[in-house]
Amino acid sequence: MTSMSRARVARRIAAGAAYGGGGIGLAGAATVGLVLAEVQLARRRVSNGTSPHVPQADGLYGRMYAGPAVAPLRLTMLGDSTAAGQGVHRGGQTPGALLASGLAALAERPVELRTVATPGACSDDLDRQVALVLADPDPVPDICVIMVGANDVTHRMPATRSVRHLASAVRRLRTAGAEVVVGTCPDLGTIEPVRQPLRWLARRASRQLAAAQTIGAVEQGGRTVSLGDLLGPEFAENPRELFGPDSYHPSAEGYATAAMAVLPTVCASLGLWPAEEERPDASRREGFLPVARAAAEAASEAGTEVAAAMPSGPRGPWALLKRRRRRRVPEQEPAPATPSN
């Protein structure tokens, strides 16, 4: 599927989500029967992880920057097992801990991490997770990171419904005053046990959903980072290094790779990224595009950020597409200083 075709599909899905449209399929309902046996085989082999348990990572990071006059930044992780960090053994290996450590080092401020992400969650669980965040008596988080979408594809949730729930979550969090970064749906076509033709369908569905997620999130004031190709060629080439023991969830190295892609956007959303890197670089094919076109391009390239730009243009809202340079995530602290309950 070309970038323009993907943009049109993503625009239709996002419009259906915004205006209450029906269930536009992710990969075409007519093909479901042809691959049903393969889906069942893949599910048995993958088993969605060996255990729903995820290590405890919540608490204070960057404690060397703490002081009576220094308020910590508040980071909250929402979404599914990828946001929670399922597949690793230590809290410091989770994406939340990696992002909190990196953010603390770059901001030179402590960071309070809270995780409400739930293994197995689809996008419709974001309503509950956002309610938990907003019901907290503590201040609203400075930054919320959402990673969701893989289970929507495997459970064949209509894309319009998936994007509607994500857009609602972004809108509620932004209205409350939090910055929001969404790591879009990863490329499920890279999962080792998945065979053809399901592999091709999973890749197509993942990219369609990622592009539609980008439109929905950006139009509500969030930023997105494409994880699809990031968790694609690199995972396919190094499955024993980047996949965990269940061949489904990332390993510690895989989560670190994803965190390095998301961290620059987290910092930029808080005004912590160098000003010279905020200007689009034409030599890296950065610039302003209609949001649907930017979403389609981002779905095809790892680590690509999309953020709202001009409020409107001849073809609707516009967005800034950035291909941020990856920086090494500072070494995470072995354990948070003050674990939360």
Q: Is 312 a catalytic residue?
A: no
Give the β-pairing of 287-290 and 179-183.
unpaired
Adjacency order of strands within the sheet including 73-79: 59-61, 111-115, 73-79, 143-147, 179-183, 223-225, 304-308, 318-323, 287-290
Concatenate the DSSP letters of all residues of 83-152 into one string: HHTTT-SSGGGSHHHHHHHHHHHHHTS-EEEEE---TT--GGGHHHHHHHHHH-SSPPPSEEEEE--HHH
Catalytic residue among 80, 81, 226, 229: 81
- Whether the bond between 197 and the residue before it is cis, its omega within 30 degrees of 0, is yes
Do β-strands 59-61 and 111-115 pair in parallel, antiparallel, or remain unpaired? antiparallel
d(CA 77, CA 180): 10
Of 306, 268, 17, nearest in space to 166 by CA:
17
249 is catalytic: yes
CB–CB of 227/143 below 8 Å?
no
Residues in the chain: 341
- Residue 305, classed as helix, strand or coil, is strand
- CA–CA separation, 79 vs 84, rounded Å? 7
Q: Is 246 part of the annotated catalytic residue set?
A: yes
SS3 183: strand
The burial of 45, by beta-carbon neighbours within 10 Å (0-12 exposed, 13-18 middle, 19 or more buried), is given as: middle
Cα(first)–Cα(last) distance of the chain, in Å? 46
Spatial neighbors of 39 by CB under 8 A, at least 6 apart, are: 198
Segment holding 15, helix H or strand E: helix 3-18
Of the candidates 121, 120, 148, 156, the residue with the CA atom closest to the CA atom of residue 47: 120
Query: Of 125, 142, 229, 249, which residue is the catalytic one?
Result: 249
Would you name the residues annotated as active-site residues? 81, 246, 249
